[in-house]
Amino acid sequence: MNDEISKRRTFAIISHPDAGKTTLTEKLLLFGGAIQTAGAVKSNKIRKSTSSDFMDIERQRGISVATSVMGFDYNGLKINLLDTPGHKDFAEDTYRTLTAVDSVILVVDCVKGVEEQTEKLMQVCRMRSTPVIIFINKLDREGRDPFELLDELESKLSLKVRPLSWPIGMGSSFKGVYNLHTKSLYLFRPGGVTVAEDVLAIKGLDDPVLDEQLVEAAARLREDVELIETAGQPFSVEHYRAGDLAPVFFGSAVNNFGVKELLETFTEIAPAPGSRPTDVRIVSPEEKNFSGFVFKIHANLDPRHRDRIAFLRICSGRFERNAMYHHVRLDKNIRFSSPASFLGQRKSIIDEAFPGDVIGLYDTGNFKIGDTLTEGEVLQFQGIPSFSPEIFKELVNLDPSKSKQLAKGIEQLTDEGVAQLFTQQQGNRKIVGTVGELQFDVIQYRLEHEYNAKCRFHRMDVHKACWVTCDDPKALEDFCRYRAERIMTDKDGNLVYMAESSWIIKSLQDDYPAIRFHDTSEFKRQMQSEN
């Protein structure tokens, strides 16, 4: 059991959109032997799409809108890689994914540096002290000075950084990188989509081979490395694993350059699965009894089979196919006959899995994001965020003959956690709430192409959704009657008030002191923890 745990490395790749995150994911799979050639994310000439972008809308737009799960073996380790959406409209999917990993690789564009979404994602990592490795990408383009980038990383991300590789030139003058960790020189050759190596083992910076290969650039490299070694903070694996120090690598993912040394160092220093907090105690991965939590749900991973998959992070014990496990929220036991591991859209049935693994469970509607499975113990894993929608639109059916398909589709898609569904009983109006506009485009596209149901969305004048509770049933009934035009229910039947403004919320709190207004649907769990 301990041997299996020590072999696991579970991490997410995060970045601002267009920093090259999905391209790096492909190249890690390429070096890991999981695929033979990498697909081009944005090339119209190459019709292959990336392994991690499996939905049609992702392939068409060249962006990731859902977290993908991929597993492969490398250097005797089992690597579980989660590729996340970079776009801010899908940040909640990324935030939840960060609860399911033990470390992170952050991709930064050398031209643009640290961007807004990068800062927000790193705030989540800093809250959890998640170990971070930084990959500064696109060195084949004319970008910013490497020292300037390091300063910006430290100041904007509130994180100490230490380069473990260093670029020799940039853009048209880019010659390669010097690996400070192994004292090796990696020469740059603009490359294709297969694995190629061009490494010179040198005896140090005074090796004459350096001058032969780099000519004038050799002197600049020596100066830069001397400055790093004398003024920079020494690298420490302990400080990295504590989340206090981030090693930095430079490269060009699209050219397969700098990726292998990143992967080699990651497998050497990244942490194995660690302990996880619950509402009653800390769960250690070495415990005998199985436990895990659902952090993502995806409908129609394979549209031909209309399957619904719940992604489960295993936290302790051994998961076994066909064994009975306890669903804590529903208080019932469930058996799983076809648990799966993933490489993007491709699934493989597994017989067992261990802490750190992310597996897919076929789901008939039993699971919600945040649900816990155990061998009988009643506990709830913590730290899985919920979100209050910021944009609200009414769902309008454009084809009455497809009403059933539309109803089923919107139910299943909102189960995935990127949108919330509210229903007004009077007139059976369906209201969808999200944190970003792009999510409506994705939902509309998927409803049409996965459920054959056409719709449009009408924006509503709603400032905020407030879940309402009250200890006095009569007071709650009166409130709902007087404010009926703004009262809805969520998918669990909880009452929700669609507030027009923050001033209205304050006024209602004064007028109805017995009514409690909650910002998210997590109020039940919050109330239980308070009690």
What is the span of the domain harbouring residue 412? 391-530
Residues 354 and 254 in one domain: no
Residue 449: which residues within 8 A CB-CB, separation 6 or more? 56, 303
Closest CA to 490 of 422, 400, 430, 416: 422
Pairwise CA distance, residues 66 & 110, whole Å: 25
In this prediction, residue 323 carries a pLDDT of 96
Closest CA to 332 of 281, 290, 366, 369: 366
End of a domain among 251, 269, 287? 269
Residues 413 and 499 in one domain: yes
Closest CA to 429 of 382, 468, 486, 380: 486
The pLDDT confidence band at residue 86, using thresholds 50, 70 and 90, is: low
pLDDT digits (tens, 9 = 90+) for 264-321: 999 999 999 999 999 999 999 999 999 999 998 887 766 565 678 899 999 999 999 9
In this prediction, residue 62 carries a pLDDT of 46
pLDDT digits (tens, 9 = 90+) for 130-147: 999 999 999 999 999 999
Closest CA to 252 of 243, 260, 264: 260
pLDDT digits (tens, 9 = 90+) for 221-243: 889 989 998 877 789 999 999 99
pLDDT at 169 over 80: yes
pLDDT at 162 over 80: yes
Pairwise CA distance, residues 391 & 343, whole Å: 33
Residues 40 and 189 in one domain: yes
Angle, helix 403-414 to helix 438-451, in steps of 10 degrees:
130
> Quick one: tokens of 193?
């989509």
**Residue showing tokens 């089923």:** 408
Mean pLDDT, rounded, for 331-335: 96
Residues 347 and 485 in one domain: no
pLDDT digits (tens, 9 = 90+) for 424-440: 977 789 999 988 888 89
The verdict on residue 379 lying in a domain is no
* Segment of 258-262, 326-330, 442-446 carrying the highest mean pLDDT: 326-330
Pairwise CA distance, residues 298 & 417, whole Å: 9
In this prediction, residue 59 carries a pLDDT of 47
In this prediction, residue 113 carries a pLDDT of 94
**Residue showing tokens 């050398």:** 110
Alpha helices in 101-205, H assignment, sequence order: 116-127, 146-157
The verdict on residue 116 lying in a domain is yes
Alpha helices in 32-164, H assignment, sequence order: 56-61, 91-98, 116-127, 146-157
Q: Which burial class, exposed, middle or buried, applies to 43 when counting CB atoms under 10 A from its CB (0-12, 13-18, 19+)?
A: exposed
pLDDT at 46 over 50: no
Mean pLDDT, rounded, for 48-61: 45
The verdict on residue 382 lying in a domain is no
Residues 499 and 359 in one domain: no
Closest CA to 83 of 126, 41, 46: 41
Residues 360 and 457 in one domain: no
Angle, helix 91-98 to helix 116-127, in steps of 10 degrees:
30
DSSP string of 382-443, one letter each residue: --------SEEEEEEES-GGGHHHHHHHHHHHHTTSSSEEEEETTTTEEEEEESSTHHHHHH
The pLDDT confidence band at residue 32, using thresholds 50, 70 and 90, is: confident
Q: Please answer whether residues 363 and 370 qualify as being in contact, where contact means their C-beta atoms are separated by less than 8 angstroms.
A: no
Q: Which burial class, exposed, middle or buried, applies to 143 when counting CB atoms under 10 A from its CB (0-12, 13-18, 19+)?
A: buried
* pTM to 2 decimal places: 0.82
The verdict on residue 386 lying in a domain is no
Residues 300 and 257 in one domain: no
Of residues 465 and 342, the one with the higher pLDDT is 465
Q: Please answer whether residues 4 and 272 qualify as being in contact, where contact means their C-beta atoms are separated by less than 8 angstroms.
A: no
Residues 156 and 207 in one domain: yes
**In total, how many domains does the chain have?**
3
In this prediction, residue 50 carries a pLDDT of 45
Read off φ and ψ for residue 512, nearest 5 degrees.
Answer: -125, 75
Pairwise CA distance, residues 281 & 288, whole Å: 15
The verdict on residue 328 lying in a domain is yes
In this prediction, residue 43 carries a pLDDT of 39
The verdict on residue 155 lying in a domain is yes
> Quick one: tokens of 42?
């944005």
Residues 252 and 284 in one domain: no
In this prediction, residue 313 carries a pLDDT of 96
Read off φ and ψ for residue 276, nearest 5 degrees.
Answer: -130, 140
pLDDT digits (tens, 9 = 90+) for 174-227: 888 888 878 888 888 765 444 445 566 666 777 787 777 887 888 888 899 899
**Residue showing tokens 């579980």:** 80
Lowest mean pLDDT among 99-113, 169-183, 338-352, 417-431: 338-352
DSSP string of 295-339, one letter each residue: EEEEE-SSTTTT-EEEEEEEEES-EETT-EEEETTTTEEEE-S--
End of a domain among 232, 254, 269? 269
Which one-letter amino acid corresponds to residue 271?
P
> CATH number, domain at 355?
3.40.50.300
Residues 361 and 245 in one domain: no
Mean pLDDT, rounded, for 61-67: 47
pLDDT at 45 over 80: no
Pairwise CA distance, residues 440 & 133, whole Å: 33
Average pLDDT, the chain: 85
Of residues 207 and 86, the one with the higher pLDDT is 207
**Please, which residues bridge with residue 162 across strands?**
247
The verdict on residue 383 lying in a domain is no
pLDDT at 468 over 60: yes
Residues 226 and 342 in one domain: no
End of a domain among 232, 253, 269? 269
The verdict on residue 55 lying in a domain is yes
Closest CA to 82 of 5, 128, 13: 13
Closest CA to 122 of 157, 160, 156, 163: 157
Residues 165 and 107 in one domain: yes
> Quick one: tokens of 143?
């970008």
pLDDT at 418 over 60: yes
